[in-house]
Chain A
Amino acid sequence: MRIVVGHLFPDYLNIYADRGNMAVLARRAQWRGHELEVRALGQGERVQPGEHDLFYVGGGQDREQELIAPALAALGPALQEAIAGGAAALAVCGGYQLFGRFYRDQSGDELPGAGLLPLHTVAGERRMIGDVLLECELEPGSPQTLAGFENHAGRTILEDGALPLGRVVAGFGNDGQSGFEGCRSGRVLGTYLHGPLLPRNPWLADWLLTQAIAHRSGEPPELDPLPDELEAEAHDVSAERARTRGGRF
């Protein structure tokens, strides 16, 4: 089966190894006999209903985020419609912030958000930088862990009733104090864990692929297990880093 990923503004939002996450999705689809096509969604392009099975948006530096925020916000309604129609999304780092309602910088200026996640972000004084480990349970009864790295000045505040992506075992998370990280709204996930998130957490890649294939075919697939020994080793080293040197105030 052929599934299509819409990669939002890769020219602007690509600071942390986002193409690694794309490569993992593509290979793991291919190893199961599917074909995954990544289509860049640049400035001035439109989202056609039903075209994309999964959306991905990565992080950028402040300047690039400022340059692209209005264009991303303008796509908000079309993305909302695609997601209501069954597409999934993963937003990472700066893209996570821009998937919320707004981002307010240190001088009080606001960047508009796409409004796909019930949250907003306010720039703080100290950056929150370090290894991080989460516990999450995207499917009831199957708890998992996510190991990664965070580097953000923004404090992200979830609205009442909003679900976090996970509980922080070690590291800062959304704001350094709530004990939670990321946000989940149905098939839309947002997280500060940047860079090689999917290589060392392949279960999340498979969860996203499952959503994407279900959108395309109309029913959730059974994905064959893959030999993930290297992935598990990379995850365990990263998790150990978070436990011993993860950020805390």
Chain B
Amino acid sequence: MGLVPVPLAIEIGLARAAARLSRLVGAGGGTTVPGKLLWKLDPGAVDRLAARLPRGSALISATNGKTTTAAMVARILEPSRRLAHNRAGANLVSGVASALVAAQDAELGLFEVDEAALPEVARRVRPRAVSLANLFRDQLDRYGELELVAARWREMARSLATNATLVVNGDDPQLGDLAGERPGSVVFGLDDPRHASPELQHAADSKWCVRCGTPYDYAAAYIGHLGDYRCPSCGNARPPLDVVAREIELNGLESSSFSLVVPEGTRRIELQMPGLYNVYNALAAAALSRALGASLADVQAGLQGFSAAFGRFERIRMDERSLLVLLIKNPAGANEVVRTLVAGAPPRLLLIALNDEIADGRDVSWIWDVDFEPLLGSLERLIATGERAAELALRFKYAGLAPDAIEVVPSLEAALDRGLELTPPGEELAALPTYTAMLDLRALVAARGHARPYWEDAA
């Protein structure tokens, strides 16, 4: 440790003590406390800690899938490298700082980063690789308009070190366009029109040509505006793909599989996670891991050994029943959760929890842009809970669900008990919480001894 300047060592000691204190007083996981303290003491410490990582750092950003993708990359790389990884999803500068403080012997930094925080984190951490997977409308009250985030990402991509690798989802027009500016970028995408939507979803955002504003023609639209697009006016189109998913099979709520095609070969990947969005996450993880030196065999083993990231698609045993937790936070992500549920076992009972804290988005308008309608065919009872339970109930009432099929139970604990009461033994209760409701739900379940608190998962 002789290389550590003394003040930094002292700062790290203080920051770690703060994390322990935070857990001791029950204030939560302490996943951001040390970083916030370090940040206050010396903002430049983040830069210096990152600079000490012998294998550098990789950053992952996206509207949807950051936590899952980062967890997949960790699974792929962990057998061979010691990681500093903000596993619990604390993804602002302070969360990255905390992960750096917590993993002093790490070789490689692996950080999921909030969309708005990405430019600053990239400036401080100076990553060797950055993965950008999608941009959807999300919490416009917090992030501003999508175009603004895209413009900041473009600036960030231009200021990356020349030897850094940019990994982008070519299916997103805003991101595919970045690859054209930066030779050597790695482009991933889907190539299986059998899984295309019959039409662009309501939540499709970047559907106008990034160059000339003409509506794109889609040979296939997979999720929102992600797909195989071409501008009929100026010719701007999806760039050639380097890392491709073909022959995708979706097995309801259980699993999915696809052929991962890269220049050096093809591997069949059996994922223990459902849904097309997890195929995208796996593809992003494969592309980034390869850029960080992982072999195709490592990628396959890591992806196949992966089950779920915290709260994203988590099955929790609750004695004779199980609880399936599916995070929802914006229209594009929630649409895929709905699509996956309906393709699996269309649920007769659902618990949906809508909060409106800063981390959820204070503006709850977004629930009206989600396509919940496919659930109506099977849904017999909705338990609407959370701080804005009544608002959520209205969403379903005006979609056509019978008013007596809707129970408004604002208390999350009472709603969970009601849901479990209505779930026959041996069956599963599906719960769709927003972010802070997911944290609360997990805390409730943990307090009953069924799941570990998130800071233990993160440790």
Contacts and interface: CB of A to CB of B under 8 A. Distances in A.
A151 B363 contact: yes
A101 to B, nearest CB: 24
B393 interface: yes
Interface of chain A, main secondary structure: helix
B356 interface: yes
A70 B91 CA distance: 41
Nearest to A20: B368
Interface size class of A (residues with CB under 8 A): 35 or more
Interface in A205-249: 227, 230-231, 233-234, 237-238, 241, 245
A129 B141 contact: yes
A131 to B, nearest CB: 7
Nearest to B207: A11
A184 interface: no
B371 to A, nearest CB: 10
Contact of B390 (A227, A230, A245): A230
B331 to A, nearest CB: 9
Interface stretch (A44-52, A57-65, A137-145, A156-164): A57-65
B305 interface: no
Contact of A17 (B366, B388, B399): B366
Contact of B147 (A61, A130, A237): A61
Please classify the interface of chain B as helix (H, G, I), strand (E, B), loop, or mixed, using the class held by over half of its residues. helix
Contact of A230 (B146, B147, B208, B393): B393
A14 B140 CA distance: 13
Given A149-B363, A230-B397, A199 B369 contact: no
27 contacts: A15-B137, A15-B140, A20-B368, A20-B398, A27-B400, A61-B146, A61-B147, A62-B145, A63-B147, A64-B208, A67-B208, A129-B363, A130-B141, A130-B362, A131-B362, A149-B141, A151-B140, A195-B365, A196-B394, A200-B394, A230-B394, A233-B408, A234-B388, A234-B390, A234-B393, A238-B391, A245-B362
Given A24-B398, A230-B397, A196 B368 contact: yes
Interface residues of B, number: 34
A241 B356 contact: yes
Contact of B394 (A15, A127, A227, A231): A231
Contacts of B408: 230, 233
A196 B362 CA distance: 13
Contacts of B393: 230, 234
A245 B88 CA distance: 29
A224 B394 CA distance: 20
Contacts of A233: 390, 408
Contacts of B368: 17, 19-20, 195-196, 199
Contacts of B377: none
Interface string A81-115: 00000000000000000000000000000000000
